[in-house]
Structure 1
Amino acid sequence: MKKISLSIRFGLVTSAVLIAYFLILALLDKNTNPVFSFFNAVITAFGIYEAIRLSKLESPDAFSYGEGFKIGLITGFVATILFTAFFLFYATEFNSGFLPELLKEMHGGLGADVGMITFVVAIMGLATTLVSTLAVMQLFKNSKKLA
């Protein structure tokens, strides 16, 4: 239970940082440029890294690859779900002009609506979580190599 609470706590913090980054971009009128969303991967990876690092520091003997992988996935999933919910709220309730501007910036949008864009945001977050967790766990796995 302690490991899950650590993951949820870091997921909440990571989602807060993602939301703050998005709002800063909105203040600078850059939130419709999809290029800036690549930094979301860096934020997510750092949150996952810190959750796994702290877990390994708290109990180095009980730490395993599977345990670290689970911590990374839960952290990223919580952050993704909360950020996606915020994105949906922002696009529909707070700034109704955001989605048309985003689709114009993407040069078309292929008839996408708010549901499709929100789904893409969620899938991108989940994919980022999986890839970041796999990459971060390479730093924390125990080596069985003797030489």
Structure 2
Amino acid sequence: MKDLSIPVKYSLFISAGLIAYFLIISIFGAHTNPFFSLFNPVIVGIGMYAAIIAYKKKKGGKFKYQKGFRTGLTTGFMATIFFTIFFAFYATEIEPNFIDRLLSMWDSDWYVNIGMVVFTVALMGFATSVVLTLAFMQKFKDSWNTREGREHTF
């Protein structure tokens, strides 16, 4: 992708939204409750959808499914990387006992370190990005149920 301005711009908005949401719920002490992470895909979804729409507007009639898919995926992956870096910094520098408080929600004998938690946060973000991109691009793909669509089939 030659022009990364749209994914960079929207991924910064998404990660800023995720960070702001995380910090707001941390004020109330709710950031250790995994239930509140269910709102994260909403923030990511709004930003990724806006990025795909912005890319479609920029390309006009030359919008291709593959390029729109790449825009959504790149935006989501970059936002995930930015938020994961913040999360690792927060969990190690700002609130060092955060991981212990987070993991106290589960009664487990497993040893879980910061690396495993950060990896899980990144993996969840990447998975969310893939699923949301696949879902959003269904709206933007060309239909084969029209006369024009049938003419382009094999």
Matched residue of 2:143: which SS? coil
Match of 2:141? 141
Which structure's CA Rg is the greater one?
A: 2
Instruction: Say if 2:128 is the partner of 1:128.
Output: yes
How far did residue 38 of structure 1 move? 1.4
Instruction: Say if 2:141 is the partner of 1:103.
Output: no
| CA RMSD, 1 decimal | 1.5
Instruction: Say if 2:17 is the partner of 1:14.
Output: no
Give the alignment of 1:22-41 within 5 angstroms.
Answer: 22-41=22-41
Partners of 1:109 and 1:66 in 2: CA distance? 45
Match of 2:44? 44
Partners of 2:109 and 2:54 in 1: CA distance? 41
Instruction: Say if 2:61 is the partner of 1:61.
Output: yes
Partners of 1:141 and 1:5 in 2: CA distance? 23
Match of 1:115? 115
Aligned length: 147
1:91-131 deviations in Å (ceiling 9; x for gaps): 00000121110000233372111000000000000000000
Letter in 1 for 2:71: I
Q: CA 1:145 to 1:3, structure 2 compared with 1: closer, same or farther past 3 Å? A: farther
Instruction: Say if 2:87 is the partner of 1:87.
Output: yes
How far did residue 68 of structure 1 move? 0.5
Partners of 2:142 and 2:60 in 1: CA distance? 10
Partners of 1:19 and 1:109 in 2: CA distance? 30
The sequence identity of aligned pairs, in percent, is 47
Letter in 1 for 2:57: L
Q: Which runs of 5+ in 2 are unaligned?
A: 148-154
Contact 1:19 1:86 in 2 (8 A): yes
Higher relative contact order (CA 8 A, sep 6+): 1
How far did residue 58 of structure 1 move? 2.1
